[in-house]
């Protein structure tokens, strides 16, 4: 149902100066859905995720998260930009995991996971630590809580980054090629954590080149190219029976 979509994009456009990157994105992510986004480099996947997460402002169209406009408030026919403090409040509800994990290097794993709840939500350290330890356990790193990022593998760091995002108890998780920077043997553990998260009912938008994950875990798959949605549907259908030449050409290179 349209009314309760977790993410809804209607004709979303985004330009950087003269570069028109998103050229009318229409899509809908239902609550609890694992929504995979694939497409060639430069097609606007990261830009779209950044728009959802208030890191970029769209130029035209409408973008909603959980029924609320992103970045703007609507009064009558007019849109007003949200204040920074209002944006900050909304961003708390959205977790994002990047290709590069960007952990704080001078903090241990558990301190990384505690940081936002303590600093942003003003939680007590005791409460934040207890949740952080549970989350590290959940991502298979219960025995690494006291390790610094430099003492962890890339895959372990990425799992800490996922735990860190979950510590804010988001209603939506965005993943931007979370396994692309990892050595191949470390990819599986990260995908397992994401699969587990999906099974717990989390709404996830996942930009990925892992077609196996998209096929097995994804509920929907969108192929983007040139800033538009070229094709979308059930991942198995799109991957095994693509309808558009551009999708076929892309898949023939990555599958």
Report how far residue 199's alpha carbon sits from residue 33's, in angstroms, rounded to the nearest whole number.
10
- Which of residues 27, 44, 71, 172 is near ligand ADP by CB under 6 A? 44
What are the Cα distances from residue 175, in Å, to 87, 106, 152, 181, 213?
Answer: 20, 24, 20, 13, 13
Chain centre distance of CA 92: 13
Q: Which is nearest to 140 in space by CA: 113, 164, 166, 159?
A: 159
Q: Least distance in Å: CB of 49 to ligand ADP?
A: 8
Minimum CB distance to ligand ADP smaller for 53 or for 156: 53
| CA contacts within 13 A on the Cβ side of 138 | 22
Q: Site residues for Mg ion, window 169-228 (CB under 5 A)?
A: none
| CA contacts within 13 A on the Cβ side of 216 | 10
Q: Site residues for Mg ion, window 29-68 (CB under 5 A)?
A: 45-46
Is 230 a binding residue for ligand ADP by CB under 6 A? The answer is no
Find where tokens 């001078």 sit.
Answer: 106
Is 16 a binding residue for ligand ADP by CB under 6 A? The answer is yes
Minimum CB distance to Mg ion smaller for 108 or for 158: 158
| Among 14-22, 63-71, 106-114, 132-140, the segment contacting ligand ADP (CB under 6 A) | 14-22
- Which of residues 12, 27, 33, 45 is near ligand ADP by CB under 6 A? 45
Write out the residues near Mg ion by the rule CB under 5 A: 45-46
Write out the residues near ligand ADP by the rule CB under 6 A: 16, 19, 21, 39, 41-47
């Amino acid at each position: 149902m349209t009314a309760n979509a977790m993410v809804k994009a209607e004709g979303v456009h985004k330009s950087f100066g003269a570069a028109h990157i998103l050229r009318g994105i229409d899509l809908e992510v239902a609550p609890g859905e694992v929504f995979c986004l694939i497409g060639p480099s430069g097609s606007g996947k990261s830009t779209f995720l950044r728009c959802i997460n208030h890191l970029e402002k769209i130029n035209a169209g409408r973008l909603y998260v959980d029924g609320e406009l992103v970045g703007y408030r609507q009064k009558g026919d007019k849109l007003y930009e949200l204040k920074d403090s209002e944006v900050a409040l909304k961003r708390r509800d959205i977790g994002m995991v990047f290709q590069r994990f960007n952990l704080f290097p001078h903090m241990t794993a558990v301190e990384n996971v505690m940081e936002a709840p303590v600093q942003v939500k003003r939680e007590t350290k005791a409460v934040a630590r207890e949740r952080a330890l549970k989350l590290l356990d959940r991502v298979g790193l219960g025995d690494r809580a006291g390790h610094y990022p430099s003492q962890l593998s890339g895959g372990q760091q990425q799992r800490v980054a996922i735990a860190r995002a979950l510590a804010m108890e988001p209603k939506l998780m965005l993943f931007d090629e979370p396994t692309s920077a990892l050595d191949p043997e470390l990819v599986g553990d990260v995908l397992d954590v994401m699969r587990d998260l999906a099974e717990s009912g989390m709404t996830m938008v996942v930009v990925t080149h892992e077609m196996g994950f998209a096929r097995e875990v994804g509920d929907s798959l969108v192929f983007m190219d040139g800033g538009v949605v070229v094709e979308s549907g059930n991942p198995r259908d799109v991957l095994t029976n693509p309808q558009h030449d551009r999708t076929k050409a892309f898949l023939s290179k990555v599958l």
